[in-house]
Chain A
Amino acid sequence: MDLTTFLQNCVTGVSLGSAYALIAIGYTMVYGILRLINFAHGDIFMMAGYFTIFAITNFMLPWYVAILVVIIATVILGAAIERAAYKPLREAPRMSIMISAIGVSFLLVNLATYLFTGLPRSFPKLGFLQHVYKIGDVSAPVVTFITPVITIVLLFVLIYLVNHTKMGMAMRAVSKDYEASRLMGIEINTIITITFIIGSALAAIGAILYFSPRPMVYPFSGMMPGLKCFIAAVIGGIGNIPGAVIGGFVIGIAETFLVAVFPSMTGYSDAFTFVLLIIMLVFRPTGLLGENITEKV
C-alpha cells in the first residue's frame, strides 16, 4: 500500500469512525442511565436516513432546513419510543425491557418496509457536502472531511454539558444511583427523556453524515451499523462518552483497513467487528475507559 492509498484509507476510516462515534454515544448514554441496550437505536438512525430523503427529495427543502427538520423528527421519534416502550417497564425485569427494545427495533424495520417498501431508496445529495475536495493526493467528498470535525466539536459540547451543567450533574447522579437520585428530588423521567433526545439528535446527525457518501437507504440499513456502534460503545467502556467516540474510531478505522488490506475478507467485515467485541469482552470486559463495577451481595 503506497502512502496515498494509506492516507486515503485513513480519511475514509476516520470519517466512518466519526459517524459510528456519534451513534455510539447514544448507546452509551442510554446504557449508562437505564442499563439497557437500546436495540432500537440503530433503527432510529435508519429512520433518520429516511427522514432526510423525505425532507430533501420529496419536500425539496434546502439542505440546512432539512437537517434541522430531520434532527427534530428523529428526536421526537426517539423520545416517543422511550415514553411508549421503555417507561412502562422501569420496574420490570431487565430481560423484559431488553425484549421491548428488540420489539421496537422489529417494529421500526417492519414499519419502514411497510411505509417505504423494502426497496432501497437513493440518498439525496446535500448541497456542498458532496463536492469532491482534494488535499494533496487524497480526494474525498467534503462530508468525509468534515465528519470528524463535527464529531469532535459535538463531543466537547456534550462533555461540557455532562460535566458542567446542572442537567449533566443530574444525569451522572441517575447513572450512579437511580433510587438515591429520585430521593434527592431529581426528575428521573425528565433526565431519561433528555438522554434519549440527545442520543437521537446525535443519531440524526450521524445518519446524515453516514449516508451521505453512500448511495442507498433501506429498512435494514440501521441494523448492522447499530450493532457495530453498540460494540464501539462496549469497546470504549460502556457508559463512558469519550470511550464511545474512541470505540467508534477504532471500529471505523479497523474496518476500513481490513477491507483495504485484505480485499478477500470483505465478506467478513461485519463479522470482524464481533470478533473485536468478543476479544474485548474476554480480556477487558469493562472496555478501554470503563470502570469496574462489582455487584453487591
Chain B
Amino acid sequence: MTDKPNVLKVQDVTVQFGGVVAVNNLNLEINKNEIIGLIGPNGAGKTTAFNAITGVYAPTNGAIYLNGELLSSNFPDKKMQGIYAGENLGKYNVRLAPTPDIITRKGIARTFQNIRLFKNLTVFDNVLIAKHMTVKANPFSATFMLNREEERRIRQESMDLLEMLGLADVKNDISTSLPYGKQRHLEIARALATKPQLLLLDEPAAGMNPQESDELMHFVARIRDDFDLSILMIEHHMQVVMGICSRIYVLDYGITIASGNPKEIQNNPKVIEAYLGVDE
C-alpha cells in the first residue's frame, strides 16, 4: 500500500432493508486514477452499494472514507466503534449519514442505472444546474443579478464541458430528445460538472450495441485522463469491464465473492458459478 490514502475506501459496509441484506460486509478500495468494475448478477446489491456510497441509503453498518476522511459511518454495535472508527471515534461517535448533496459536494458524482436527466430542460441547463452547487451568491443577490461574474463563469464552464464531450451542437435541445447514447453522455457530462474526484457510473453501457459500448469504453478512459478521475463502474458488458478496469469486484447476493484483475476474475470458478449456475 502506498502512503497516499485510497480515494475511496469502503469498510465492512452492510446495507439492510428490514430482513433483506442487500449488501453484506462490502470492502472496497479505489486508488487514484483507477477504473474499478463492480459486477454481479441482477439483484446482487451493486446499485445498493452505489446508493450507500452516495448517501441515498445510510449504511446499516460500516464506514466509508473519501481520501482518508470519514465520509459516512454507522456502528450500531458500540464495541465495534472503537475498532472501526479508530482515531475518528471522538469526532463522530456513532453515526454519520450525510445526504447525497453533501457527498456530491465532497467530490463523488454519479450517474443512474435508468437515466435520470432533468427531462424537460435543455442539454445546457442540465449541465448548468450541476454547477449550481458552486454558486456562492445568496438568493437575493442572484435574483437581482449581482453575481454576473459568477453566472458568466458557470455558463462558460458548462459550455466548455459540453464542447469537450461533443454535446455543444445540441446544447439547446431538450435533454430527452437526444438519442439514447447521447443521453448517457449527457448524464456523465452533468456528473463531471460537479468536478468530482470519484465518478460512479451505474451501467453506462446498458442498452448499447457492441460498437457503441466500445466507443463508451474509450470515452470513459478519456475522461479519466482528462479530468484526473478515479472511476467505479457497474457494468454488465464484460467486453467493457475487462477492457478498461484495472480491478474488478464481484458481488452475489450482497456478498463479495471475488476481486482481482480481469484475468483472475475471468478464471475464478466462483464467478463462473454465480453467472452460469452449477451443473447438477
Which chain A residues have a beta carbon within 8 Å of chain B's beta carbons? Answer: 292, 294, 297
How many A-B contacts are there with CB distance less than 8 Å? 7
> CA separation between A297 and B51, bound complex, in Å?
8
A297: which of B17, B18, B56 is its contact (CB, 8 Å)? B56
Return A69 CB to nearest CB of chain B, in Å: 48
Residues of A within 8 A of B17 (CB): 294
Residues of A within 8 A of B197 (CB): none
Residues of B within 8 A of A294 (CB): 17, 57
Shortest 3 CB-CB contacts between residues of A and residues of B? A297-B56, A297-B51, A294-B17
In the complex, whether B47 has a CB less than 8 A from a CB of chain A is: yes
Residues of A within 8 A of B112 (CB): 297
Classify chain B: how many residues form its interface, as a range. Answer: under 10
Q: Interface readout for B53-94 with A: 1 if CB under 8 Å, 0 if not? A: 000110000000000000000000000000000000000000
Q: Which of B124-179 contact A (CB under 8 A)?
A: none
Return B184 CB to nearest CB of chain A, in Å: 17
> CA separation between A188 and B112, bound complex, in Å?
30
Residues of A within 8 A of B51 (CB): 297
The residue on B at minimum CB distance from A295 is B56
Residues of A within 8 A of B56 (CB): 297
The residue on A at minimum CB distance from B51 is A297
The residue on A at minimum CB distance from B100 is A297
> CA separation between A294 and B52, bound complex, in Å?
14
> CA separation between A190 and B26, bound complex, in Å?
46
Return A177 CB to nearest CB of chain B, in Å: 16
Return A105 CB to nearest CB of chain B, in Å: 28
> CA separation between A297 and B56, bound complex, in Å?
8
Residues of A within 8 A of B57 (CB): 294
Q: Which of B5-38 contact A (CB under 8 A)?
A: 17-18
Residues of B within 8 A of A297 (CB): 47, 51, 56, 112
What are 7 A-B interface contacts by the 8 Å CB criterion? Answer: A292-B18, A294-B17, A294-B57, A297-B47, A297-B51, A297-B56, A297-B112
Return B17 CB to nearest CB of chain A, in Å: 7
> CA separation between A297 and B46, bound complex, in Å?
12
> CA separation between A297 and B17, bound complex, in Å?
14
> CA separation between A294 and B47, bound complex, in Å?
14
> CA separation between A292 and B17, bound complex, in Å?
10
Return A136 CB to nearest CB of chain B, in Å: 48
Residues of B within 8 A of A292 (CB): 18
> CA separation between A281 and B112, bound complex, in Å?
30
Return A104 CB to nearest CB of chain B, in Å: 27
Return A232 CB to nearest CB of chain B, in Å: 27
> CA separation between A294 and B56, bound complex, in Å?
10
